[in-house]
Amino acid sequence: MVILVVFSVLPIVVALVASFTDLDLRGLRDWSLIEFIGLDNYDRLLGDPRFRAAAGNTVIFVLDGVPLIVVCSLAAALMVNYGSSRLFRVYRAFFFLPAITNIVAVAFIWGFLYNTDSGLINLILSWGGVAPVPWLDQPVMAKVSVIIVAVWQGCGYNMLIFVAALQGIPREFYEAAQVDGANAWRRFFSITLPQLRFATFFVAVTTSISWIQLFETPLVLTHGGPLDSTMSMALFIYRNGFERNRFGYGSAASFLLFLVVVTVTAIQFKLRRQDSNV
Amino acid sequence: MKRRTAVVVALGAALALAVSGCADGASGDSTPSGTSLTGPIEVWVMGNKGPAMEAVAAGFSAETGVTVLVQAIPWGDVRTKMSTAIVSGQGPDVLQVGLDRVAEWADAGGLLDLTDRVADYPELQADNFFPASASTMSYDGRTMTVPWIADTRVLFYRSDLLEEVGLSQPPADWTQWQAAALALSQRGEGKYGMGFNVNDVNTPLILTWSAGGDIEADGELSFTSQQYRQAVEFEHSFFADGLTPARALADADLIAGFKDGSIPMFISGPYMTRSLADQAPELKGQWSVAPIPAQQSSTSLMAGSNLGVFAFSDHVDAALAFIAYLDRRDVQLAWNSTTFDLPAAQGALELLIGDANVAVYHQQMNSAKPVPITADWGAVAQEITRASEQINLGGMTVDQALAELTAQVAAI
């Protein structure tokens, strides 16, 4: 309990208090310089076009990323669950590898792959006669590139959750369906998907939370550019708080982000409860 | 067994005597008051220069008996480490400070005021350094840091490719610059004339200075001058005419483009000399450096690093003695020979201008200017790069971008 308060509740309270002040680097050293400015930070935040752009980007990231993760990790889970030979175990390890690889290294390597002139991806595309794609140099493309990397990295972990859930589905269901003459598609939609309902919900919630806070991938890959097209809310907080030492302003933004996470999670749980009551 | 222990103890005692004797003897030279120096001191050096600093510091320890602990801080972590140090009061004794951060750390109270102390050290006098370096020593009328490494920006060019298009000389003014880039870009598909960056902070500054203007007047920053507009418009013309790739070019891209000839000219600093020697040795003799082409003058950026004493240092005397040691001519030369960093001490740099490249750097530094010494420079720099990105990539008009830049800087 003490640990929960010290490491979880206290930082939130501190951030909340700091968000009502003009705290900066000098203020941290000499507390007498800190002034309470009420809701000014929030007022400015909501009027800051960059914050709104970051919020908009985050919405796009979540709306694209979460469905993609659910679909990709489920597809991967079905594939590796198809057999149990050594080959499938190798596949499983292969899909899981991105999830346990350091994000900085991942983004660094992807940065090389994405390079417009010398990247491997454009080289391969050029064999097919495709003109160089500006993966990270153009606002829309950069957003796509960041989503690709984050999906690629997020799939492995969620695949494991789906694999575990798949293995928990009683075999008898399938046998009975087969006897009734249901084909593979029918079996998938009538047995597998409904049985995976809780796993899907879990994956959707955890992925939403982590994508709302998407941070390292754009930080290392694009630093939020070009033209702030990959600036997520978390990256906005980092750049204001730690690159510009505007701790008060950053705290206000992070408290808003915290509220968003709580709200989204609450809504999802609510939906889930309604769903299971039906 | 016992005898061996005795020998070790005796050796240790002898060594201790030797070291302390050394310290007594040398401290008289390094500190004016003749007091013996106490350590150990901790030094923060940025980037990958840790081993080089350890090697140089060993010489200081031998002379003074003061132990020097070296910590290398990755450039990306500098701000966080420094903020933590300032807040907690726990930090190094001596630290390397980039010229664009001097004012920020001084303003935040991280640096010790050295105004009354530098006079004691002949190595730390302002007139040892280039005027532009010397001007970075003071913030708010107080001496906060001392120059250490000098760095500037010049034009790198592939002399063989210029000759191919009939140019025996690098461009000396803006008209020639544009003409050279145009000729070079007409060599064929995928060939550019220049390697500008869509969001560089230094290029607009260098071009503004070279157009005879400045972004700072009477301590106020302004982006409304005719020259600043001229600078961003000139830079943008390269993007608009397709003379440079419309991207944020990393150093690796510049080196690759220089190698395959697609980017035959770009602006960079002395560190690039080293990178090209390491990564493109086959180009040796096919490239050279030239001063920034002039509009009114050829005025480049004075960059580099200064050294400061951490505000909460317990060993100020030893810290200052170490800084003075690092600025001593022989140590500056030794540092240059291992790291290729150029010495900020003018006298030391002049000994190196036998090298044709260094001669150009030296010439450029004579008239170079540092970034404005203001605490908010980090934030201002972000706004400058943002405005450039809007113009060069986002298609915003120069008018609109500069108006936005002025408004954003005013709000900082």
Each residue's pLDDT, cut to its tens digit, for chain B (412 residues) gives 444 444 444 444 444 444 443 434 333 344 444 457 887 999 999 988 999 999 999 999 999 999 999 999 998 888 888 888 988 889 999 999 999 999 999 988 899 999 999 899 999 999 999 999 999 999 989 999 999 999 999 999 999 999 999 999 999 999 999 999 999 999 988 899 999 998 899 999 999 999 999 998 887 899 999 999 999 999 999 999 999 998 888 888 899 999 999 999 999 999 898 889 889 999 999 999 999 999 999 999 999 999 999 999 999 999 999 999 999 999 999 999 988 899 999 999 999 988 899 999 999 999 999 999 988 898 899 899 999 999 998 889 999 999 999 998 988 7
Give the pLDDT score at B31.
Answer: 44
The nearest CA of chain A is from the CA of B133 a distance in Å of: 25
Pick the CATH number of B37-152+303-367 from 3.10.50.40, 3.40.50.2000, 3.40.190.10, 3.10.180.10: 3.40.190.10
**Residue A148: inside a domain:** no
A116·B248 Cβ contact <8 A:
no
C-alpha B46/C-alpha B59 separation (Å) is 20
DSSP three-state, residue A109: helix
The nearest CA of chain B is from the CA of A238 a distance in Å of: 11
**Residue A246: inside a domain:** yes
Q: Is the dihedral of CA A186, A191, A196, A197 positive or negative?
A: positive
Residue of A28, A117, A134 lying closest to B253 (CB–CB): A117
Q: Give per-residue pLDDT as tens, A31-58.
A: 777 788 888 888 888 888 888 999 999 9
Residue pointed to by tokens 């803006």: B174
Give the pLDDT score at A87.
Answer: 82
B83·A28 Cβ contact <8 A:
yes
Residue pointed to by tokens 């003009």: A22
Task: Give the burial class of B176: count Cβ atoms within 10 A of its Cβ; 0-12 exposed, 13-18 middle, 19 or more buried.
Answer: middle
Nearest chain A alpha carbon to B198:
A226
In this chain, the answer to whether the domains covering B37-152+303-367 and B154-300+376-411 adopt an identical fold is: yes
DSSP three-state, residue B43: strand
Which region among A16-30, A186-200, B31-45 has the lowest average model confidence (pLDDT)?
Answer: B31-45
Q: How many domains does chain A have?
A: 1
Best CA proximity match to B155, nearest among B122, B196, B205, B95? B196
**H/E element, B74:** none
B87·A227 Cβ contact <8 A:
no
Residue pointed to by tokens 């010495």: B343
Average pLDDT over residues A118-142: 86
What is the residue extent of each domain of chain B? Answer: 37-152+303-367, 154-300+376-411
**Residue A145: inside a domain:** no
C-alpha B393/C-alpha A140 separation (Å) is 12
Residues of A in contact with B257 (CB under 8 A): 117
Q: Does B50 touch chain A (CB under 8 A)?
A: no
DSSP state of B190: T
The nearest CA of chain A is from the CA of B147 a distance in Å of: 24
In this structure, are residues B301 and B153 in contact, taking their beta carbons and an 8 Å threshold? yes
Give the pLDDT score at B35.
Answer: 57
- What's the mean per-residue pLDDT of chain A? 86
Which distant-in-sequence residues (6+ apart) come within 8 Å of A231 by Cβ?
A: A50, A53, A54, A57, A218, A224, A225, A239
Nearest chain B alpha carbon to A223:
B248
Query: Which amino acid is present at B30?
Result: S
CATH number of the domain enclosing A84: 1.10.3720.10
In this structure, are residues A40 and A46 in contact, taking their beta carbons and an 8 Å threshold? no
C-alpha A237/C-alpha A246 separation (Å) is 9
Residue of B83, B199, B256 lying closest to A245 (CB–CB): B83
Nearest chain A alpha carbon to B88:
A29
HEC-encoded secondary structure of A163-232: HHHHHCCCHHHHHHHHHCCCCHHHHHHHHHHHHCHHHHHHHHHHHHHHHHCCCHHHHHHCCCCCCCCCCC
Which region among A147-151, A169-173, B19-23 has the lowest average model confidence (pLDDT)?
Answer: B19-23
Which distant-in-sequence residues (6+ apart) come within 8 Å of B346 by Cβ?
A: B128, B129, B130
C-alpha B40/C-alpha A237 separation (Å) is 38
**A-contacting residues in B 70-129 (Cβ below 8 Å):** 79-80, 83, 86-87, 104, 107-109
| Full DSSP string of B95-120 | EEEETTTHHHHHHTT-B---TTTGGG
CA of B167: how far to CAs of B95, B171, B180, B201, in Å?
45, 9, 8, 29
**Residue A135: inside a domain:** no
Residues of B in contact with A33 (CB under 8 A): none
**Residue A217: inside a domain:** yes
Query: Which amino acid is present at B104?
Result: E
**H/E element, B285:** none
Nearest chain A alpha carbon to B404:
A49
Domain holding A168, by residue range, is 2-110+154-277
**Residue A101: inside a domain:** yes
Partners of A21 in the β-ladder: A36
Q: Give per-residue pLDDT as tens, A247-265.
A: 888 899 999 999 999 998 8
Our CA angle for B357, B359, B362, nearest 5°, is: 115
C-alpha A41/C-alpha A20 separation (Å) is 7
Give A276's pLDDT tier (boundaries 50, 70, 90).
low
Which distant-in-sequence residues (6+ apart) come within 8 Å of A127 by Cβ?
A: none
| Full DSSP string of B346-389 | HHHHHTTTTSHHHHHHHHHHHH-BPPP--TTHHHHHHHHHHHHH
What are the start-end ranges of the H helices in chain A? 2-4, 10-18, 25-29, 40-47, 49-81, 86-100, 103-114, 120-127, 139-167, 171-179, 184-187, 193-195, 197-212, 216-221, 233-238, 247-277
CA dihedral defined by B101, B104, B107, B109, rounded to 10 degrees?
Answer: -70
Query: If one looks up domain B154-300+376-411 in CATH, what number appears?
Result: 3.40.190.10
In this structure, are residues B70 and B54 in contact, taking their beta carbons and an 8 Å threshold? yes
